Structure 1
Amino acid sequence: MAAGRPSGGNGGRRNLATFRNGKRGSVMNGPFQPPANGDGNHPFHHLRKLVNQWFDERPLQKLFETLDDYFAQTFAAAYIPIEVKETKRDYQIIVRLPDIKRDQISLQWHEDGLQLVIDHHETIESSDDSGHVYERRQQRRRVARMIPFPYPVAEHEVKASFQNGTLVIRLPQKRKYIGID
């Protein structure tokens, strides 16, 4: 090695390496050091404070909960389950409709079946301890289901009653069964 020449064989050019804690490495190889929380004079102090506040308050959590509630309610009520019972005199179509009032139900007769329509509307209010309303939501859902008849039925033969959240639709039994000896 010649006197006065730096070692390393790069012709006297300096490379981008430095010594940190007695070890040779790149300037960017050190562990990340976040800015000190200090007195707020750091240029990114305000930004860090906003980001921390955003994650602490979780504003999206309430939004997602609201969306989850909306879709759960929408798709839960989108299908009206029915139960069909057959007796010797008639067919009974039983529809359980909790929290539905009689005036929210309509039955429309068609030659090949009945259309059951439920028009449910409600107002939900939230208030604080002093009685001041801080949230008021109105919901309206309209759900319909076609209930097909197994055979032609005249309109005057269809009977319906609604009690205690249960709608019962009665169709006359048209088929006659023949006993086999």
Structure 2
Amino acid sequence: MKKDLSHMLDSFFDDRSLKKMLHALDEYVHRTFSPVYIPIDVRETNEEYIIIAHIPNAKRDGIHLQFIDDTRLLLSVIYDEQTETIDDEKKIVHRQRTYERAMKSIFLPYPVGESDIHASFQDGKLIIRLPQKKTFIPIE
């Protein structure tokens, strides 16, 4: 009896459709409750203030940078990816679509005019440049 129950449980959890369902449920929970995090680095030079947003899997057309006011920007990134796998031998088609949206407010260190802000995207990094408004005093 114990072996039969053990065998039934093993076969129940070995069922491929159940595994697929559990995998899909796990993926749904992960995507729903795990917000996409956008790490930000800041650098300053005597000439400019540089904000670097690390968004490695984003595409240029999915990135939107909005000027909210003279001290805040709103960065939104849309990840929209579709994959398709075709197994001609088994006549199976697997399609998957991933859609995520991340938003981040970027607070500027001082008021800046919209025309003074320059942004570029390369190698998974959004680089935002502002003119330096701080005065650095040389220390002797």
2:57/2:79 contact within 8 Å kept: no
Q: Structure 1 residues 69-78 or 148-157, which shifts more?
A: 69-78
* Alignment equivalent of 2:57, drawn from 99, 103, 106: 99
Q: Whose radius of gyration is greater, 1 or 2?
A: 1
User: Offset at 1:54?
Assistant: 2.1
- The one-letter code matched in structure 1 to 2:108 is F
Is 2:138 aligned against 1:179? yes
The answer for unaligned runs of 5 or more in structure 2 is none
1:125/1:133 contact within 8 Å kept: no
Alignment of 1:32-43 (within 5 A): 34=1
* Alignment equivalent of 1:80, drawn from 38, 56, 65: 38
Is 2:21 aligned against 1:68? no
Q: Structure 1 residues 119-128 or 61-70, which shifts more?
A: 61-70
Aligned sequence identity (%):
41
Higher strand share: 2
Calculate the aligned-residue CA RMSD, in Å: 3.1
Structure having greater relative contact order (Cα 8 Å, sep ≥ 6) = 2
Higher helix share: 2
CA distance in 2, matches of 1:56, 1:179: 70
- TM-score (norm: length of structure 2): 0.79
Indicate the residue corresponding to 2:15 in structure 1.
Answer: 57
The answer for unaligned runs of 5 or more in structure 1 is 1-33, 38-48
Number of aligned positions between the proteins: 138
* Alignment equivalent of 2:81, drawn from 107, 122, 137: 122
User: Offset at 1:61?
Assistant: 3.5
